[in-house]
Amino acid sequence: MDLRVARVAVAGVALLLFVGHQVASSRGAAGRSDTEHELTPEVRARTVTFASGVSAADRAWVLDAIASARPEAQQLIAAVDGLVTIGVVAEPSAPFVGVAKAGSDDILLNIAYLDGERKQDRPQTVLHELGHIIDFELVPDDEMERLAAAIPSSGGCFSAETGDCTAPEERFADTFAKWALRGAVSTVGAGYGVSAPASLEQWGAPLGALAAQQSIQK
């Protein structure tokens, strides 16, 4: 299913690709936000909200994932997470592990996978989806495109939505998560087959500068 054709303003839809007995996650369509929300001091002072159906155990690993990010990434997340409500579904047949919605800034996590065989990908998934929210609300489009273009070629398109064919928004979110975790991602990772920059530190330098600006704007 090509979700880009649907144009539903949903980013970070993580479709599952079955290769033999392996599952590769996190591919699909990324929608750009038509409007940005105002990051008022009140919004910046709030933290992420969890939907009523999210258990205490699931809330804990989501917060642990955020806490595992480098300080600069946490600063960026802190600037926007007051806009975010995180919900969960448990759908083992659904074609996603995570979704970030451009219009609402809400995130949906599929715990059928993330509380099951994909536990090792929790930090990557959470930070990938939060990377989309940071893209929607903080990163200018031209800067996002530049950062996406700075990611080296993977050597080909493994499918219409992976490798070098991965949408810029997904290339950015994929690499944001790698940068936030200092490269400590699982073998599967986000599943796009996107190569890591030769230096994540150099690639993420503009994000570090943007993070420094957030502390001034509080």
Model pLDDT, residue 15: 43
Interatomic CA distance for residues 27 and 15, integer angstroms: 5
In the prediction, which pLDDT does 184 show? 81
* Token output for 59: 């809330």
Contact between 138 and 169 (Cβ < 8 Å): no
- Within 8 A by CB and 6+ apart from 25, the residues are 14, 15, 16, 17, 97, 113, 118, 121, 125, 188, 190, 191
Q: 79, 87, 95: which is closest to 135 by C-alpha?
A: 79
Give the CA count within 13 Å in the CB-facing half-sphere of 133: 31
Eight-class DSSP state of 96: -
pLDDT for 34: 44
Angle at 26 between CA 25 and CA 32, to 5 degrees: 175
Longest alpha-carbon distance in the chain: 50
Q: How far apart are the first and last CA of the chain?
A: 42
- What is the rounded distance in angstroms from the CA atom of residue 155 to the CA atom of residue 127? 25
Count the Cβ atoms, other than its own, within 10 Å of residue 200: 17
pLDDT score, position 27: 30
Which pLDDT score is estimated for 16? 41
Q: SS3 for 172?
A: helix
Alpha helices in the chain (DSSP H): 3-6, 41-45, 56-67, 71-80, 111-114, 122-137, 141-149, 168-180, 200-203, 205-217
Q: What whole-number distance in Å separates Cα of residue 206 and Cα of residue 203?
A: 7
The per-residue pLDDT string of the chain (218 residues; one tens digit each, 9 = 90 and over) reads 223 323 333 454 444 433 212 233 333 334 444 447 889 999 999 999 999 999 999 999 999 999 999 999 999 999 999 999 999 999 998 878 899 998 899 999 999 999 999 999 999 999 999 999 999 999 999 999 999 999 998 888 888 888 889 899 999 999 999 999 998 876 555 567 888 999 999 999 999 999 999 977 76
Which residue in this structure is represented by tokens 């649907």? Answer: 6
